[in-house]
Structure 1
Amino acid sequence: MKDMRIAMISMHTSPLQQPGSGDAGGMNVYVLSTATHLARQGIEVDIYTRATRPSQGEVVEVGENLRVINIIAGPYEGLAKEELPTQLAAFAGGILQYARCENLEYDLIHSHYWLSGQVGWLLRDLWEIPQVHTSHTLAAVKNVYRSENDSPESEARRICEQQLVDNADLLVVNTREETADLIQHYDANEERIVVVAPGADTELFTPGNDRATERSRRQLGVPLHAKVVAFVGRLQEFKGPQVLIRAVAELLRRDPDRNLRVLISGGPSGPNATPESYREMAAELGVERRIRFLDPRPPAELVAIYRAADIIAVPSYNESFGLVAMEAQASGTPVIAARVGGLPVAVAEGETGLLVDGHDPSDWADALAQLLDDDDTRIRMAEDAVAHATNFSWARTAEQLAGVYSEALSLELPNCHGRRAQGR
């Protein structure tokens, strides 16, 4: 393993970008965290991403055995994620040029998300090395679970994902639920799917004592004796901040004197998303004084939000796993989440939190009230949440990924007469 060099590809969002804004989210955390721990094992990792600022420089030395390489493909700014397919050739060409000029040879490609997967598929054949691919989200699944106001994912994206399912040497998924999705929607070969659970930084995200919680609330301007519910993530329909806002309005309609405060930390994502739209919703529902909107925070500052909250709400319409839920539990905060995707794996129902069927604000208000009003259960769940989170660490994830890489390297690559189908 110590002699292995990996090319990771994360085209549309840099792992160094602040999660919670724009297109940066859980995938950024996943890529940087797994790469960091793989590098600690002695594996050399180069992460290729699209340059978005000239000040970034071409190469960022993140740590021993780990670099981020910024490839120029299209303008630095003003290019929406939906327009990035126009830059696939430029991005692939930039990687080839850099690797050639630096005399780099890689043992394996690990691509993340379908855009990177398409580039990785090309490089796989040019370099004649295996490709491991992680989708993170799937068009067919997002279209099934999207809210009625969300735009559907394109058929072009679904076709590109189908090509990757058919041609990547191994597919890494977060949960067995995701395996079932690949088989159902993409007719995937189960023998080429490997389940590797993501983790959390259990050294950073730790529970605080009463003094730490009090300090966190003072920093965030939250009343010390209020009950606090927090949302952390991108402000977009798919993540469900509107579900929480409407549920809070319903909760306060039932009990106007409830001492409740809500923290929503994140930035807008997508062409139609703005922080103002969610603030306007809160104002229209009469709860704007109970909700505080916070800018996206780096992980070291997110700890304060998790500790300040009595409950973390994750009302997403789908999650391949749910990193926010796991970080919250590691910080000693129970979670109320939608029963979708990998969230039933991330949250131990009845032990570390509650799961809600659907996104009806009334149902979410019921779940919030149940946990907010039962101090004994909530405190017990907070304690159990920490123990649950210890089963998920990035070091363990990286160790399993290293095993996947070894398996991929042992596979016989298809020759010209034995190629897999090139999509449908």
Structure 2
Amino acid sequence: MNTSPSRPLKALILSMEYTPNVSGGVGTYVYELARGLAGAGCQITVLAYTPGQATVLREPNLTVHLIPPSRALLAQAAKLSLVRGVCAFNDELILHGRRCIAEERPDVIHFHQWHTHLSARQLGREFDIPVVGTSHHLSDPTERWWAQEPDPEMLEQERSFYDGSTPVITVAQAMRRLIHQTYGLALEKIHVTYCALDVTPFTQTPHSPETFARLKATVARPEDPIVLYTGRIHPQKGISAIFAAAERVLAKRPNVRFLLAGGTDSRQSTQMIHELCQRYAPLLGRIKLLGKVPRPQLALLHRIADIALVPSIFEPFPYTALEALASSRPLICTNTGGLGEVIEDGQSGLHVPIHRSGQGEQREVDVERLADAQLALLNDPERARRIALAGNRRLFERFSLKHMVIGNLDVYRQIAGMAVANPQSQLEAAV
């Protein structure tokens, strides 16, 4: 399909999540990408699931349809597995997609995760529109690494996603290799575009130093260093390693305070945190669980933190790491998945290794190294400051929103066979 380069590119995006408020990474990515593309002059329509009321959100160049399940689907939901329920919702996305395409035909249909690949591909076939999907997570084999058995129905959908019928965008080179190794998808069909976000909430604040001092006083004394974790409370995220390393850190630096901002998302996660709180009960005065915190409040927490932790057992590409870099906080993270690509060990952050635990495919965080890295930065504030500044520079050089938008546009251009006008000037103004 050949199109005049002077016409704005039009894309239809299908996702089960939109905005960080729904779940996390996928919703954040779709929200940031859609608004970034719109800011670059593209015409973007998003169809996304919502558990609430049907809503249409409009911004310049961007229309978002938040779609709840129909009454008919809700009536049979109890009889359906999670995966079958998601597949059934795809039938409803197809109906909405047909109406959107009838009003304005997109140049590209872009789906996210396996959750919306059925509807995107069906619409692509019906209207002869090229389709691309973004992979944000892989169940096989990664879930076994933290002792979770992947859902067989989910694996069936993943195999369909990576069957080679549509090109794939993924969020890290590590994910590209893993998809290729697991499903045999040709490397030339897998494009890498790193995650990015609007860093404004983390780099600019209307609050005074006195406000931050009052906020810190709610969780620590003025002289107490704060170590911050933000993200889901889940075995994948290395939560048990945070507690075990905290015990070692507090034995040498008893005035350190640990803040964990995030909510559980399953019975397994709730049970895990309950057991950890029992096992490390003597530490609970110095480890605070804050629950799920909205992103604006996360930005405030970063401002009072001395160190940020992302000790995941595997991470495709975490927004929590980018938020720490945007806040100019020194980052300690595991060297797994996309995390190993975010920072340069010893320069823009510190890496902690992951080891096999000796039980099948399970892996675990090197707790001693995690504790040692924290103590190294707590005992050398000047080094911590240099690492934080280097991490902030790396964010803007490699992981800016402009890079994510251009990366996706490059793939759109390739699959649509159209020339896309250079969005650089618009991106500089919009991002």
Q: TM-score range by the shorter chain?
A: 0.7 to 0.9
Q: Equivalences for 1:10-409 in 2 at 5 Å? A: 10-11=15-16, 14-16=17-19, 18=21, 24-53=23-52, 56-61=53-58, 64-73=61-70, 74-75=73-74, 83-101=81-99, 103-104=102-103, 105-143=105-143, 146-148=145-147, 151-206=148-203, 211=209, 214-215=212-213, 217-218=215-216, 220-252=218-250, 254-255=251-252, 258-274=254-270, 277-278=272-273, 281-285=276-280, 286-358=282-354, 359-391=365-397, 392-409=399-416
Q: Which piece of structure 1 moves more, 185-194 or 228-237?
A: 185-194
- The AA in structure 1 aligned to 2:284 is E
Alpha-carbon displacement from aligned partner over 1:116-161 (angstroms, at most 9, x marks no partner): 22332232222221111111011224135x223xx22133323322
Using the TM superposition, give the Cα deviation of residue 375 of structure 1 relative to its aligned residue in structure 2, in angstroms: 1.5
Alpha-carbon displacement from aligned partner over 1:34-75 (angstroms, at most 9, x marks no partner): 11011112222222222312xx32423355423133142533
- d(CA) in 1 for partners of 2:353, 2:141: 17
- d(CA) in 2 for partners of 1:79, 1:244: 37
Equivalent residues of 1:18, 1:296 under 8 A apart:
no
- d(CA) in 2 for partners of 1:64, 1:156: 37
Correspondence for 2:424? none
- The AA in structure 2 aligned to 1:301 is Q
Classify 1:352/1:207 alpha carbon distance in 2 versus 1 (closer, same or farther; 3 Å).
farther
- The AA in structure 2 aligned to 1:28 is G
Equivalent residues of 2:226, 2:256 under 8 A apart:
yes
SS at structure 2 position matched to 1:205: helix
- The AA in structure 2 aligned to 1:196 is T
SS at structure 2 position matched to 1:166: coil
Give unpaired runs (5+ residues) of structure 2: 355-364, 419-431
SS at structure 2 position matched to 1:197: coil
SS at structure 2 position matched to 1:333: coil
Classify 1:216/1:57 alpha carbon distance in 2 versus 1 (closer, same or farther; 3 Å).
farther
Equivalent residues of 1:198, 1:397 under 8 A apart:
yes
Alpha-carbon displacement from aligned partner over 1:185-243 (angstroms, at most 9, x marks no partner): 11111111111111132322227799378437437533221111111001111112221
Correspondence for 1:420? none
Classify 1:298/1:79 alpha carbon distance in 2 versus 1 (closer, same or farther; 3 Å).
farther
- The AA in structure 1 aligned to 2:312 is S
Give me the TM-score of the superposition, normalised by structure 2: 0.84
Identity of aligned pairs, percent? 24
- The AA in structure 2 aligned to 1:327 is E
Classify 1:155/1:85 alpha carbon distance in 2 versus 1 (closer, same or farther; 3 Å).
closer
- The AA in structure 2 aligned to 1:152 is E
Equivalent residues of 2:56, 2:63 under 8 A apart:
no
Equivalent residues of 2:10, 2:44 under 8 A apart:
yes
SS at structure 1 position matched to 2:13: strand
SS at structure 2 position matched to 1:139: coil
- Which one of 5, 13, 21 corresponds to residue 10 of structure 2? 5
- d(CA) in 1 for partners of 2:218, 2:415: 47
- The AA in structure 2 aligned to 1:364 is L
- The AA in structure 1 aligned to 2:339 is L
- d(CA) in 2 for partners of 1:317, 1:212: 37
Give me the TM-score of the superposition, normalised by structure 1: 0.85
Classify 1:264/1:408 alpha carbon distance in 2 versus 1 (closer, same or farther; 3 Å).
same
Using the TM superposition, give the Cα deviation of residue 317 of structure 1 relative to its aligned residue in structure 2, in angstroms: 1.2
Equivalent residues of 1:200, 1:389 under 8 A apart:
no
Classify 1:88/1:207 alpha carbon distance in 2 versus 1 (closer, same or farther; 3 Å).
closer
Would you identify which runs of 4 or more consecutive aligned residues in structure 1 move more than 4 Å?
76-80, 207-210
- The AA in structure 1 aligned to 2:125 is D
- d(CA) in 1 for partners of 2:81, 2:303: 39
Correspondence for 2:417? 410
Equivalent residues of 2:164, 2:189 under 8 A apart:
no
Classify 1:369/1:117 alpha carbon distance in 2 versus 1 (closer, same or farther; 3 Å).
same
Correspondence for 1:419? none
Equivalent residues of 1:216, 1:304 under 8 A apart:
no
Alpha-carbon displacement from aligned partner over 1:349-369 (angstroms, at most 9, x marks no partner): 111211111213233222221
SS at structure 1 position matched to 2:233: coil
Aligned residues: 396
